[in-house]
Structures are given as C-alpha cells and as structure tokens.
Chain A
Amino acid sequence: MKSTRTGARRLDLIPPYLFAEIDRKVQAKRRAGVDVISLGIGDPDLPTPGRIVSVLQETAADPSNHRYPSYFGLAELREAIALWYRDRSGVELDPATEILPTLGSKDGISHAPLALVDPGEVVLTPDPGYTVYVTGAVMAGAEPYVMPLTESNHWLPDLDAIPAGVLDRARLMWLNYPNNPTAATADRGFLERAVEFCRRHEIVLCHDAPYSEIAFDGYRPLTLFEIPGAKEIGLEFHSLSKTYNMTGWRIGWVCGRADLVGLIGQLKTNIDSGIFQAVQWAAIEAMNGGEEETRAACAVYARRHRLVADTLNSLGWKIKPPRATFYVWAPVPAGYDSIGFANHVLDAVGVNITPGVGFGPHGEGYFRLSVTAPDARLEEAMTRMRKLEL
C-alpha cells in the first residue's frame, strides 16, 4: 500500500486483545497434546436455562423474525428490561428512550466513545480494567487517561488525583463494579462521590455492570441509578451473559440518560442492523424470571471460590473469597512478574490463568483466575496447583 504499513495507525495503539492472544497460546499447547484447563476467561460453564432455549427455538421458526429487526430492539424487550430494573433496583427507566438493547454489552462499551467523545477529548479509564475501555477511546481518536486502581484504595480510583487539566478535557469516565478483574465492590459512599464528581465536571459516567447479579452471601451490588442524580449524567451497561449463562448469545443493553442512549442508538444504526429477533425473544424470557436460576448459579460460584481460596491459602497466599464476580484476583508470588507466573503455571501444570498486566500496567503483580470451569475441572486444576513449585 502507500506506506509500508497496511492497517490504520490506530491499530498500532491498540494492543492485541488480551483474550485473543491467550486463546492462541492455549490452542498451541492443546495441539501439542497438553490437557489445558482454562481458568482464563469469564465464560460461565453452566448451560443457558432450557426455558430460554425453548423460546429461541419457537420464535426462530416464525417468519416475522426472519426479517430486519428494529434498530432499537423489540419494544417488548425494552419493557422487560425496564421491569427487571424496577424490580431489581427500584428505579424507573423509560423503555422508549432510556433503554437500548445491544449485541452484548461489549457492543455498547466499544461504540459509546464513537457516539459521545470527540477526537482530543479525554476518556478516564480504570487500570487494571477491561481493555475495551481503552481501545474504544482510541478508536474514537480520544485520549485514554488512566485512573489507577490500587489494593490500598480497595481497587477504587482516587478521583481527586486526576489533574485539573485532564478534567477540563474529560468527557467520559468508566467505572465497573463489581469489578473485573479485581472482584472489588463499590459501596454507596464511593458511587455517590463519583456521581457528584462527574456532575461537577460535566463528565458522562459510564458504569459497566455485567456482574451486578453475581454476588454471594446475601450481598446485593448497587446499580448506578440507585444513586440519586446518576441518571442525569450516567449510562449503565448490562449483559445477559453472566446472569443467564448466555455469553454465546451476544445480547445486553445500555440504559440511562435518554439523549446519551439515543446518541449511541443513532451511531449504531450505521454499524449494525439490530439483533436477531429470536434472540431478543429468548432474552425477554430470560428476564421475565430466573432469580432462582441465578441464585443457584451463584451458590455454585461461591462454593468454587471457597475451594480456590483454600487451595491458594494452603500454598501460602492469604486471600478471602470475594463478595461478587466469578473472579479471583491475587498477587503473584515473589520473584515472578504476572506474565512469568501465568506462563509458569501453564507450562508446569497446564492451567491457564490471566496475567494481571493484561488489564493494564497497574495490574502487574497480580493474576486473575475465573471459577467458570466445571466443578471436576476446577478441582483437577486446584489439585495440580497444589503441586506447583513456587
């Protein structure tokens, strides 16, 4: 092509997507005959409940679902989401203007900056954090500014540490609680401060909440709009993946301030042609029930979290099972960096964990492990881990 490069320069600014890289490595091991147990990706091993599958099967046979879906999702789905949100959080959302179904929450997260942020403006991103917060900003020509999350601050960003010169140009802030990768949770006090902060500085507060229902021992994570005033400046991104074991189905939603939701919808009319309606009907079925199923799934994750904590603690770690998410976030042993430790575990015992640095420089020194492998596989992984030489 015209220069030595073939791709857009923005791709040089986007590190290869972490999980795609890990995928390749694990595949290579497997081709070499190693029985790799992957605890690398937060992908529920439990199947999608049968009632949801049945609705997909029925509605897929209806020719009215074979034609273009609406860009903005079935009205019935937006209403089901509004009802769910009201029951869940006691907050009213207008299904017509404050809710937009998306092709998984990642669709909304990656495209939000393209809809809301101009080149040269700043997007505030937590580090460690989901890499799409950064790459979405880069795609929009915006400047990601890192908010470090540290253990000493309970994995919450220190908002007062953001320089005034950055705040002047900041248009969007990402938060994510319960948190990936750290499994940290945010209390009401922090969320209130964040809302007040973003109102004062005229920043769109984007809360990524895919793990809102994955919590243990009676803990109920706050959703953003339970905070007074949040809807005036905020968006919340949800996924059906984790709550209903539907990672493969690619459906979620964004909700919040109507004009912001509308802008994302407007952008997305240029990008996709809606969501397969049979999947939308399945999502409606999912959201019209399922509390029992989610509770049962959480009981499974809680049990697995105890197993992992016991295993790691027997090896010298001092960790407590988290209150939410299916992630374990723990420091790597002395003498390792996070990639070195992940490689060591993969090479020595064939278990795939995620190096913390994959979530940003501030994740260095930690690793993430997901308890979304079937019980027998997770137990086997823990048996192998006990044999690790550290």
Chain B
Amino acid sequence: MSELADLARTAGLEVIGSDVQRRSDVDPAHFIGMGKVAALRDMKLEGEFDLVVCNEDLSPRQQRNLELELKARVLDRTEMILEIFAQHARTHEGRLQVEAARLHHLLPRLIGAYAYDRQVGGRRGGVGARGGDLIPPYLFAEIDRKVQAKRRAGVDVISLGIGDPDLPTPGRIVSVLQETAADPSNHRYPSYFGLAELREAIALWYRDRSGVELDPATEILPTLGSKDGISHAPLALVDPGEVVLTPDPGYTVYVTGAVMAGAEPYVMPLTESNHWLPDLDAIPAGVLDRARLMWLNYPNNPTAATADRGFLERAVEFCRRHEIVLCHDAPYSEIAFDGYRPLTLFEIPGAKEIGLEFHSLSKTYNMTGWRIGWVCGRADLVGLIGQLKTNIDSGIFQAVQWAAIEAMNGGEEETRAACAVYARRHRLVADTLNSLGWKIKPPRATFYVWAPVPAGYDSIGFANHVLDAVGVNITPGVGFGPHGEGYFRLSVTAPDARLEEAMTRMRKLEL
C-alpha cells in the first residue's frame, strides 16, 4: 500500500489515508464489502476525499458501482500507473503509446463510466460530445465549464467551436414542414424505412449530383441525422472482437460506435505529411485479418482535407481485397469552394460492392437541428442497418421527411450562396492567421480551419490561451484523437459580425 501511496503522490495527488480489507472472496459488484463502501461514503460526505485508488484491478462494473455509491472518481492500479505515464511522457510517440494503453484500458469502461461527473443539461461538447471522454477524458466538459464560467464572469465569449451553420433553414423547407405537420396522416407511425418519396428524391439527387444510380427501394435508408447511421452501423455489421479502422484525428463517434458494438477500434493516423489521408499500407496484416469496417470522411472533419480520385480508388481496391466494409462519411460533400466538387464514394467504380456512404442534410441545407440524413450503398448492408434500426427507433417524423424532400428537390442556388459566405469567411480567417505568422491557405471544402498551434503550446494550452486572452473559443486538436495534438480547429459558422470581431481580437493575441 505504501508503494501505491508513492505512486499517487507521483501523480500529483495528496494522499489522505489508506485502508485494507481482508475478505475470503472479492465482492463481484463492488470489489469491497458493502460495509466498507458505507464507511467510505460517510467519509466522502464529510468532504474528506474526492478520489479513491484501488491497489488491485477493478472490473468495469465494480468501478462504476463504486463511483455511483461514493459519488467520487475511482481509479484502479492500472489507471493510476497510466496516469503517471501520461503526465511524464515527453515525446509525441511516448504520449501516443500511453494514450493507446489508456484507451485499451478504458474501452470496457467507456459506457457508463464516471457517472457522478456528468452534467445533465450541459451544452454540447464541440464534436462527438462525451465521446471526448475517451481522449483525453473530460476535455469537452472542461472546455464547456470554462466557457460557461467566462460567460458568467461577464466575458463575451465568441464560440468558433462547433460546426453548426448559423444561416437559417431556407423558408421553402420550413413552409413544407408547416403544411405537412397539419396533415393527420403524418401524425401516425412513419414507415421504418422512410417515405418512398424521400428515398426517390435522394436517388434523384445522387444521380444528378454524382451520375450514379441508387435503387431507392434497397440501396437508400433515411436516418435520424447521419450520426444515427454512423453510431449504429457497427452494431449491425461488426462482431465483438473484430476491428473497426478509424481515422485519427476524426469524429469521435467512429470510435464510440465501435466500442458500443464490442469491437476494437484501430487508429489510422492522419498526418499533414500524408495530406491528412491514412497510410493504408501501414495497417498490420494481423489487424487487417480481423478488420471488418473502415471509416473515411472526405471532405474531412476536423482537418478540412479533401481526397482525390486516386486515393479513393486505392481505398476501394484495398477494402475489396481485404473484405472490409468501406464506410464513407460525407456530410460536407456540398460545402466546397472555388469550383471544387468533392467526389462521392460511388463515383469510384466498384465502390458500391463494398461500400456505404453516410449523408446529412444538416450542412447542405442548414438543417442541423432537424435531425435527418441517410445511408446508401450496397443493398444487403443497408438492409442490415435498417433491420437493426427497426429495434431502435420508429422512423422519422413524416413532416420532417416531407421537408427533406423539398430540400433535396432544389436548393443548389441556396447551397452555392452559403458556400460563398463560408469562402469569404475562410479568406478572412486565413488573412488574420497569416498576419500573425501562420502560413495557411483557405481550405477547398468544409467550414473548418485546421491549423498548427504556435511553438511552445500544446493544443489544449493554446485553446485555453485564446479563450483567456481574447474570449474566443476554438477546439484543441487532441479532442479528435491523439494525432490531432499540435493543431486546433476553428469553425466559420458564426455570423459575419461575430467572426469579424473574433478575428479583430485574434490579431491582438500575444503568441
């Protein structure tokens, strides 16, 4: 026990006491006996401690139960040691190894972990929300708390943290919702598989957009936003113990969806030197043997990178060869500038034989709040997700589906106008950052700016500095995974005047 106390002190903790319990066998629910739990709870009520470290490994359930009972964070020995490594890892590679080890240890604990510390009613955490619990724990919650605290203290914080279009949903779409919501036929259960008219509108849109035919009956499934499809796809397609390949930095739901399915996420690093594309040949054969699903996302969140035809062709060929379902998340397919037209997956020959593509109406039609999107691609895979989802939801409010049909039957002009706004804002941000010494070019797609943090900062430190110094909220890159360290993300979805004000403030930054 004295060794554990030393370890705890090394991690920067103050040790206020220790205790040993002798038992003939371990309590499966709490590790220690309920009497001991009650005694600890009393101590906690008197404010004597806020962390418990156990000198043996705890099962996820034991850890969770103890946290629930004690209303305090509970670590086991392995986590304690990982914490120390994390604090002392100096090199980038060292930090990655620690993160990987910590991830591995945290996986079974992700769901339901740290019960006492959640803030119900809190604001969203930038991206994949509390998926941010994974790397590093509490990041988004901490940012949240800081921003709220600043605001309470009277600071006019400008948030460039979330990719949520500030432009309103076009009036024609709202009108259709208003009309169809008054029709009682839309008050009853929708079909599980979406209105035939919606699936047909999607097929038409896809044909006009990409020159690819999709069968509305079998190759298209409307979803409650693309996140619904993304988070549930591994439950439908992947068995426990199989591998899901996830880009890092990336949308955290790729990882948490895999974890929910009991699968093992395997990180594909995205690096600037490789143009933020994964190096497929670097994935070990042993991983590929168990890999069942690969996530790609271009135009990319958070890096704003795009994928050319050559890369997508290689990815399709690679996934065909290794029998991996290629899942392409494409919510930003229409948010592109200066004549650039992102490729959709099925423009690549052969992609439909192994692939799925996830779309959202959120970004294209300023409909983030409406929660509607779709998954399309290989029919049996689409069907499996549909089959799973019959057990999870009861379809999408039909009035919203009719509004989505209206959205997709037009809107090219609106999207073009919105993209012109984003392009102008991107130039403003690039000009501002470049005047401060950065050397960035406005991106070709997405409403994100992804840029390195200045020398001397890590990504959390820089985000804190910007928030403290000038009241602008940006997202630290490490929130998207360890490989996002060293970068920050900024979203140009704030109203013009606010973004201009933010840039005026940024020019005053001392770096």
Using a CB–CB cutoff of 8 Å, the interface residues on chain A facing chain B are: 1-2, 6-11, 14, 16-17, 19-20, 23, 41, 43-45, 47-48, 50, 53, 56-57, 60-61, 63, 65-72, 75, 78, 96-97, 100, 103-104, 106-107, 110-111, 114-116, 118-119, 121, 131-132, 135-136, 139, 141, 168, 202, 245-250, 258-259, 261-263, 265-267, 269-279
Contact = CB atoms under 8 A, between A and B. Distances in A.
B204 interface: no
Contacts of A168: 28
B228 A248 contact: no
Interface in B388-425: 388, 390-400
Contacts of B184: 47-48
Given A68-B162, A266-B130, A276-B400, A6 B192 contact: no
Contact of B112 (A97, A139, A267): A267
B112 to A, nearest CB: 5
B130 A68 contact: no
A47 B187 contact: yes
A181 B177 CA distance: 34
B20 interface: no
Interface stretch (B38-46, B96-104, B120-128, B270-278): B120-128
Given A72-B121, A276-B400, A270 B393 contact: no
A11 B387 contact: yes
B188 A45 contact: yes
B391 A136 contact: yes
B121 A7 contact: no
B118 A70 contact: no
Interface string B192-234: 1000000000000000000000000000000011011001101
A1 to B, nearest CB: 5
B190 interface: yes
A9 B252 CA distance: 25
Contact of B228 (A53, A72, A110, A272): A272
Contact of A115 (B68, B111, B253, B392): B111
Nearest to B235: A139
Contacts of A1: 292, 323, 325
Given A72-B120, A202-B29, A250 B395 contact: yes
Interface stretch (B146-154, B361-369, B481-489): B361-369
B509 to A, nearest CB: 28
B177 to A, nearest CB: 5
B239 A8 contact: yes
A110 B292 contact: no
Given A72-B121, A271-B228, A66 B370 contact: yes
Interface residues of B, number: 87
A345 B184 CA distance: 28
B78 interface: no
Contacts of B33: none
A64 B45 CA distance: 42
B118 to A, nearest CB: 5
A31 to B, nearest CB: 13
A279 B177 CA distance: 11
Given A8-B261, A10-B235, A60-B177, A66 B368 contact: yes
Nearest to B179: A57
B145 to A, nearest CB: 15
Interface of B: 28-29, 60-61, 68, 108, 111-112, 115-116, 118, 120-125, 128-131, 133, 162, 164-166, 168-169, 171, 174, 177-178, 181-182, 184, 186-192, 224-225, 227-228, 231-232, 234-240, 252-253, 256-257, 260-262, 292, 323, 325, 366-371, 380-381, 384, 387-388, 390-400
B130 A269 contact: yes
A66 B366 contact: yes
Given A116-B112, A247-B394, A56 B181 contact: yes
13 contacts: A11-B388, A14-B387, A44-B187, A118-B61, A139-B391, A247-B189, A248-B187, A248-B397, A263-B115, A266-B115, A270-B256, A273-B227, A274-B371
Contact of B227 (A20, A246, A263, A271): A271
Contacts of B186: 248
B187 A66 contact: no
A85 B393 CA distance: 24
A68 B225 CA distance: 11
Contact of B115 (A53, A107, A262, A275): A262
Contact of B122 (A44, A47, A72): A72
Nearest to B325: A1
B253 to A, nearest CB: 6
B239 A6 contact: no
A43 B398 CA distance: 14
Contact of A6 (B122, B231, B232, B381): B381
A131 B391 CA distance: 8
Nearest to A15: B391
A114 B111 contact: yes
B395 A271 contact: no
Contacts of A66: 168-169, 366-370
Contacts of B396: 250
A266 B187 contact: no
Given A57-B181, A103-B224, A262-B115, A270 B131 contact: yes
Give me the 8 closest cross-chain CB pairs, A-B, nearest first: A269-B129, A63-B168, A47-B184, A17-B390, A135-B391, A270-B256, A7-B384, A57-B178
